[in-house]
A and B are shown apart, each in its own frame.
Chain A
Amino acid sequence: MNNQKKFIVSHAPFWHNGSNIRQKSYHTVFAALPAALLGIYYYGIPALGVISLSISSAILWELLMNYATKRSISVGDGNAAMIGLIFGMLLPASMPWWAVITGTFFAIIIGKQIFGGIGSNPFNPAALSIAILMVSWKNYFDFNAALLNYDLDFVMIYPLTLLKQLGSPAADSYSMIDLIMGKQAGGIGSTFGLGLIVGGIYLMIRGFIRWEISVSFLAGIFITSFVFNLVDPVRFVGPAFHIFTGYTLIGAFFLITDDSSSPVNMVPMLIYGAVGGVMIVLIRNIGGYIDGVIMTTLLINLINPLLDKIRPKAMGKVV
């Protein structure tokens, strides 16, 4: 028995399809890059600074929390970097450094780690953190004031502010092509509609996010704003403007699709997305906020556990 070989003993099944969390995080980062890069191209070094600081501080907060809670080091799974990038993409380029670091603290520690880390966060960490910052330092999220020093070759008024003030005629100031190509004021990585859509489609095809959520979300926005527009075309702008302005697209593909805070069953995913879409248009058209995406994300995150109770009956279940 002395020269007995040491075999590995474990439980079935003995195969795995090779998917892992790291792959998921890095592919999400990869899909978000086009939009982030275009933002950096427009807003220059300050934007690069905000995104870099956001990613690096998010990773550091996660590492710090790993040490503080004496858990295994989890920065390698890329989730913190992904949250950092998404968070940075939502910020205006002029965000001061201390607000970025505070923001990633809220995202990583308050939004994710104190709930138990990856998979346990009830809200999207980036959205939660933006919401806290928006309430705390409102002025920094006034994109008109924040981007005052920029004079790029497109209209530098935040489309949704103009929409609140003027109603439907606001749309006349912008050409649809400009909106799609990111030629609008807004967060660093949240204006490039085409880039976000391409990234989102990539993630959906690869199966990293669920198409049910994004599609029903966009459909919810489209239908609701279409109905509003029908009722009063002067006050309420049409669907296309809603979809290509503000945080709509980054929300559709990167915020509300977060695994842990979104449902997993088919019908709940559709309801979850659709409710989000309807809420956004309600907030934008008749609500108090300028852009409703962040608050809507938190709201639908909140109803997710309840929605996920709608599920098919298990085989052989005796009721």
Chain B
Amino acid sequence: MTQHWIDIKNANAILIMGSNAAEHHPISFKWVLKAQDDGATVIHVDPKFSRTSARCDLHVPLRSGTDIAFLGGMMKYIIEKNLFQKYYVENYTNAAFIVGDGFEFKDGMFSGFDPATKKYDQKKWAFAMDDKGLPKKDPTLKDPRCVFQLLKKQYDRYNLDDVSAITGVSKENLLKVYDAYAATGKPDKAGTMMYALGWTQHSVGVQNIRLGAMIQLMLGNIGVAGGGVNALRGEPNVQGSTDHAILWHIMPGYNNVPTTNWPTLEDYMKGNTPKSNDPKSVNWWGNRPKYVVSLLKAWFGDNATAENGFCYGLLPKVDPGVDYASMVLFDKMYKGKVRGGFIYGHNPAQSMPHTHKIRKALTMLDFLVVGEAHETETAAFWRQPGTDPKDVKTEVFLLPSCQRGEKDGTISNSGRWHMWHHKGYEPMGVSKPMGWMVVEIMKRVRDLYAREGGAFPEPIAKLDWYETYDPDLLAKKTNGWFTRDCTVGGKDYKKGDQVPSFPSLTADGSTVSLNWLYCGGYPAAGKNLSKRRDLSQDARAAKLGLFPNFSWCWPVNRRIIYNRASVDMNGKPFNPALPVIAWEGDKWVGDVPDGPAPPMAMEKGVYPFIMHTEGMGQLYGPGRVDGPFPEHYEPAETPVTSHPFSKQLSNPCIKIMDSDMDILAKPGDPKYPIVLTTYSMTEHWCGGGDTRNTPALLEAEPQLYVEMSQELGKEKGIKNGDPVIVESIRGKVEAIAMVTVRMTPLTVKGKTVHLIGMPFCFGWTTPGVGDATNRLTPSVGDPNTTIPEYKACLVDIRKADKVTELAR
């Protein structure tokens, strides 16, 4: 989130799209309804009328996978009707930048595409630079090659007729949403976007979100109270686990993974530390060397020295352009190229797409370690339906994991609040925190290497490892400390002192920090700010619901990021009634500003978007692999054979796995005419391992269902409560029909398209509840993230004569 949960109450319009917030983030509705009480219009754009829709002012069903068409139409509307916040767009975005000659867009394709690799040469999309090395600009926004004009041209094609035809949304409904939301383009109005996996789980997932963010920039809704682009986030600590990067492509603190392009630390720094010749651009990532060196010092301790590149050479290097995402991992596993590994608190046998393939892949392993509180479908894959344990050669370890209340530590909520949770009692049985398992296993691996030697033992031997798993020590180390007596920024520090905040981190080895973002959260011994429970705040903060003294949030306790964009160039709030920050006299008051520099118009003033090299919000974003502007493409499996915006049917860069099991229905396949969306539900959590084994929750939602319209029920002879079989080209699933007025058939390009929806939390280890819905979904993903396209695939449905998976 750019904001935090409570800030939702400050919005004048709320667009919930790609999220079913009331069901999946129930507490968020406390603040949505508060906003509504104060007059906000709450809009839900979603295929299904859900518990969220029930409380919204407007629910608009759209065909799953057409968000860009829907939002593209909104962008056109905003530009055409002149509803954008001109001052903001001119001064705080890259609207005026001139795009270089290499950029072209023709019939759905951007310039620079190589069909052999399915990749664009992104250099073609660079800005035209002046002789100082800065992007050329046309402040009048009239140059046909300026971002604003290209943007206008890009979305001019998204007219109401075509958008309506492809999304299945009536023109009347489109206008209702566009009107209500675009009304927040005024300086003293704010609109917020709440999204979740309904935007990310598409082969155009990243571009869905980008277009949302671009609309927010056009309307001046980033940085202000009640605005922002808010990823509600679908997992308990997914904010923190992403910040700490249990991900192949980054290291903690959003630092790129080393690749063979950067064999030395010097190469890495050169390749990852942007430079700006513009004195008004803060260019925050210019600080990267301090963060990376402090991280390496945290990992390798005294062994990391300036002379040895702080042990950077010991880190693995990935091949540039190669994808190591989980979907790719399972593809390799299925092909027998993976031997073993760890799966902690994750149930891919339920929750990854195409679980027939995932379940088969697991049987190819030599060993598997599962850290869990329950025996899940993943832990028990060797005795899953259709598998004879005798045939499975895998050694399996199931490690009993603590539940949250049995351990100390921190998590970060979606609003980046870093919060300590306390151990309440001794863990049940001999269960242990996963962190303990990690520390203990690595201790033993280190012992083995110390005794026996082995392949490239240096990184293991040189690791600054731990005697025991100590969350307090790790929280301290995450913040970071000084490794020697030194002076930073004119202040003297002693060896062992905690680093007060990340501006004091250094690139010379005098500081360690496991994650620069969290530096400042534990700024002195005994001062763990994640434990703060202080509700006090001044009147200004109280009006916003900021709670600056409760817990701590990254970065530097800034509760609303990009907040320099909430004021004009002189530091005066766009909305004087709800100021996030304001320049008063000679200082900032309010939230922690994005850097202490004075307002932009002043001599030492800086641009608002400090994380971008050019300091501006990116209406044009050359950093995404599938284009600088979001463009509508159909899902990998689509009920249509063409769309009105170009001849390019699907995302040209789409990730598709290529094993023999990875088959796709063809566009408009008459055998699979129905669009399936999968989702979570209020009562169960993700793969369901925890919640199916919590009796009250299973009582409330006992079995797999499929939500479908009455029209489809009639067409297929299916009545409410009937057992049915849902089938895709990859498999079939038994479920109970929930035939409901809440699902609406849509008219797409003149034809009726039916949409159905199913939760994915039910699995065979809980008897009689049904089994993995993901047996239906395809292994295809977004080209930027490889997040699977769970939200739209093709199926058919029929009444079942008998069901076995749901037998009780």
Indicate, yes or no, whether A interacts with B: no
Q: Which residues of A contact B (CB under 8 A)?
A: none
B binding-site residues for A, Cβ under 8 Å? none
